[in-house]
C-alpha cells in the first residue's frame, strides 16, 4: 500500500509517506526556549509512526518573532533542550526536522521589537503595520541568522531543517511581487526575488556541509481572490522557484499557500467533502512535474482515498497534515491497523489556541 511505502529524502530513510506539517504549539518559554511539553507532543507522534515530524516555526532572530510562546533557535543555549527533544523522537523510527523562520512583515511589533522588517514597506491590511524596508546589511545579517540556526539544529540532532518560505513570513515576502517591490538585486525578476533563499542555502552549506538535508515549505500562491487589485505570487512563479531550489540542493518541497492579508487560505475551515480536500493539489502537481525531488502536499487532506490518490496520480510523494494530528496523534496507526477511512478533524480551527494547541471537537 503506497502510503506505507518508505521513501528516501536526500539521505533520510522515511518509514512511510506521512508528514506532521509544522504546527506552532504556543508551548515555548517567553524567550523562545523549547519546553519538555513540546517534546511530549513529538514523542507521541514518533511512537505512533509519523514518518517525518516538522517542528513548529522557530525564529532565527528575536526581531523575527511572530507569536507568543513561539519557539526560537537564535542562541546556542537552545541546543541542549532541543537535543533532549530529538533524542526522545529518535528512540523511534521517525525523523524530525526543525522549521526555521523570520517573521518579516508578519513579525510581532511590541515594546522589544518596535518595527517589522520586510523587503519593501507595503502595509499589511490585516495588521495595519507598515514594515521597514531592509537594507543590504540587514539582509546579509538575516542570511547569517538562518545559517547559524541550521548549524544549531544540526548540533541538536535534528535530521534537517525546513526553510519557511510560505504564509507571509520573511522569505515568502521576498519571493512575492506583492510584498517585494525592490529594484536592487534582491527584487524584480524571479531569480532576484529568490536570491535571499539561494544565498541562505549557500551559507548553510558552508556551515553544515553538503549532506545535511534542507527542505523548503513553499507558497504556491499568496491567495488573493481572482480579480483583486493585489497581484501576488503565482503558481507559475512557484514552479520556477522550485526549479531554482532543486538546483541549489533543496531535497524536498512542501507545497502550501496563503499570506495573512489574503484571509483564510492556509488552513481552510470546514473541509467536509472530498472535493474540498487537498486545496493546493493542482499547484503541487505543476511543481512536481517540473522537478525530481520529493513533493510534500499540505492543506486539508482528510480521507484515506484522497491521500492514496494524491500519491498514485502524481500530485505529491508524501501527505502532510497539521490539524488532524492535534486531534489524533495516533492517526497513522489508525490508518495502518484499523483501516479507518477518514480523520476525525472537522477543520473548525479552534486549535489555534494561544493557551497551547488542543482540539476542542
Ligand X SMILES: Cc1cc2nc3c(=O)[nH]c(=O)nc-3n(C[C@H](O)[C@H](O)[C@H](O)COP(=O)(O)O)c2cc1C
Is 168 near ligand X (CB under 6 A)?
no
Is 266 near ligand X (CB under 6 A)?
yes
From 121-129, 234-242, 315-323, 327-335, span contacting ligand X (CB under 6 A)? 315-323
- Closest CB 135 distance from ligand X, rounded Å: 27
User: Which residue's CB is nearer to ligand X, number 153 or number 187?
Assistant: 153
Among 118, 256, 260, 294, binds ligand X (CB under 6 A): 256
The answer to whether the beta carbons of residues 360 and 350 sit under 8 Å apart is: yes
Distances from the Cα of 2 to the Cα of 64, 249, 285, 304, angstroms? 39, 26, 18, 11
User: Which residue's CB is nearer to ligand X, number 187 or number 324?
Assistant: 324
Distances from the Cα of 221 to the Cα of 173, 186, 262, 268, 296, angstroms? 12, 20, 10, 14, 16
Among 17, 88, 193, 323, binds ligand X (CB under 6 A): 323
Cα–Cα distance between 35 and 2 in angstroms, integer? 35
Among 65, 164, 285, 288, binds ligand X (CB under 6 A): 164
Cα–Cα distance between 162 and 287 in angstroms, integer? 18
Is 60 near ligand X (CB under 6 A)?
no
Is 351 near ligand X (CB under 6 A)?
yes
Grid cell 511539553 in the structure block, residue: 37
What are the cell numbers at 170? 520573511
Q: What residues contact 24, with CB distance under 8 A and at least 6 apart?
A: 56, 57, 67, 70, 357
User: Which residue's CB is nearer to ligand X, number 155 or number 353?
Assistant: 353
Among 321, 331, 332, 335, binds ligand X (CB under 6 A): 321
The answer to whether the beta carbons of residues 91 and 46 sit under 8 Å apart is: yes
Is 170 near ligand X (CB under 6 A)?
no
Among 193, 217, 281, 288, binds ligand X (CB under 6 A): 217
- Closest CB 136 distance from ligand X, rounded Å: 27
Please give the residues from 90 up to 129 whose contact with ligand X meets the rule CB under 6 A.
99
User: Which residue's CB is nearer to ligand X, number 130 or number 349?
Assistant: 349
Among 57, 174, 186, 224, binds ligand X (CB under 6 A): 57
Cα–Cα distance between 189 and 131 in angstroms, integer? 22
Q: What is the dihedral of CA 262, 145, 29, 22, to 10 degrees?
A: 50
Q: β-strands 160-165, 132-133: how paired?
A: unpaired
Is 322 near ligand X (CB under 6 A)?
yes
User: Which residue's CB is nearer to ligand X, number 40 or number 133?
Assistant: 40
Distances from the Cα of 162 to the Cα of 253, 309, 345, 348, angstroms? 9, 26, 25, 27
- Closest CB 338 distance from ligand X, rounded Å: 20
User: Which residue's CB is nearer to ligand X, number 65 or number 187?
Assistant: 65
User: Which residue's CB is nearer to ligand X, number 177 or number 324?
Assistant: 324
Angle at Cα 149 formed by Cα 29 and Cα 104, nearest 5°?
75
The answer to whether the beta carbons of residues 291 and 247 sit under 8 Å apart is: no
Is 20 near ligand X (CB under 6 A)?
no
- Closest CB 5 distance from ligand X, rounded Å: 21
User: Which residue's CB is nearer to ligand X, number 259 or number 321?
Assistant: 321
Cα–Cα distance between 311 and 6 in angstroms, integer? 13
User: Which residue's CB is nearer to ligand X, number 102 or number 187?
Assistant: 102
Length of the chain: 361
The neighbouring-strand residues paired with 219 are 256
Residues that bind ligand X (CB under 6 A): 21-24, 56-57, 99, 164, 166-167, 217, 256, 266-267, 298-301, 321-324, 351-352, 357
Amino acid at each position: 500500500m503506497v502510503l506505507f511505502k518508505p521513501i528516501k529524502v536526500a539521505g533520510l530513510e522515511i518509514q512511510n509517506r506521512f508528514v506532521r506539517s509544522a504546527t506552532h504549539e504556543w508551548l515555548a518559554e517567553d524567550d523562545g526556549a523549547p519546553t519538555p511539553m513540546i517534546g511530549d507532543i513529538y514523542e507521541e507522534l514518533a511512537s505512533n509512526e509519523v514518518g517525518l515530524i516538522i517542528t513548529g516555526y522557530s525564529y532565527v532572530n528575536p526581531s523575527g518573532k511572530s507569536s507568543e510562546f513561539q519557539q526560537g533557535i537564535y542562541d546556542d543555549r537552545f541546543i541542549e533542550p532541543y537535543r533532549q527533544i530529538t533524542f526522545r523522537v529518535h528512540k523511534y523510527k521517525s525523523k524530525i526536522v526543525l522549521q526555521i523562520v523570520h517573521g518579516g512583515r508578519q513579525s510581532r511589533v511590541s515594546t522589544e521589537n518596535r518595527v517589522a522588517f520586510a523587503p519593501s514597506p507595503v502595509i499589511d491590511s490585516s495588521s495595519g503595520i507598515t514594515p521597514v524596508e531592509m537594507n543590504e546589511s540587514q539582509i546579509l545579517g538575516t542570511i547569517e541568522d538562518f545559517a547559524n540556526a541550521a548549524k544549531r539544529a544540526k548540533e541538536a540532532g535534528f535530521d534537517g531543517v525546513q526553510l519557511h518560505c510560505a504564509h507571509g513570513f520573511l522569505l515568502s515576502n521576498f519571493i512575492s511581487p506583492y510584498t517585494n517591490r525592490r529594484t536592487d538585486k534582491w527584487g524584480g525578476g524571479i531569480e532576484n526575488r529568490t536570491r535571499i533563499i539561494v544565498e541562505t542555502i549557500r551559507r548553510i552549506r558552508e556551515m553544515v556541509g553538503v549532506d545535511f538535508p534542507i527542505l523548503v515549505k513553499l507558497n504556491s500562491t499568496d491567495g488573493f481572490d481572482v480579480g483583486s487589485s493585489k497581484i501576488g505570487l503565482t503558481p507559475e512563479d512557484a514552479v520556477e522557484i522550485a526549479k531554482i531550489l532543486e538546483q541549489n540542493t533543496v531535497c524536498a518541497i512542501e507545497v502550501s499557500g496563503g499570506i495573512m492579508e489574503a484571509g483564510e487560505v492556509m488552513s481552510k475551515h470546514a473541509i467536509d467533502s472530498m472535493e474540498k480536500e487537498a486545496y493546493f493539489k493542482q499547484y503541487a502537481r505543476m511543481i512536481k512535474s517540473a522537478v525530481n525531488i520529493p513533493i510534500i502536499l499540505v492543506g486539508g487532506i482528510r480521507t484515506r482515498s484522497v491521500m492514496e490518490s494524491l500519491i498514485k496520480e502524481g500530485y505529491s510523494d508524501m501527505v502532510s497534515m497539521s490539524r488532524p494530528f492535534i486531534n489524533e496523534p495516533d492517526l497513522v496507526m489508525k490508518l495502518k491497523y484499523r483501516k479507518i477511512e477518514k480523520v476525525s478533524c472537522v477543520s473548525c480551527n479552534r486549535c489555534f489556541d494561544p493557551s497551547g494547541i488542543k482540539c476542542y471537537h
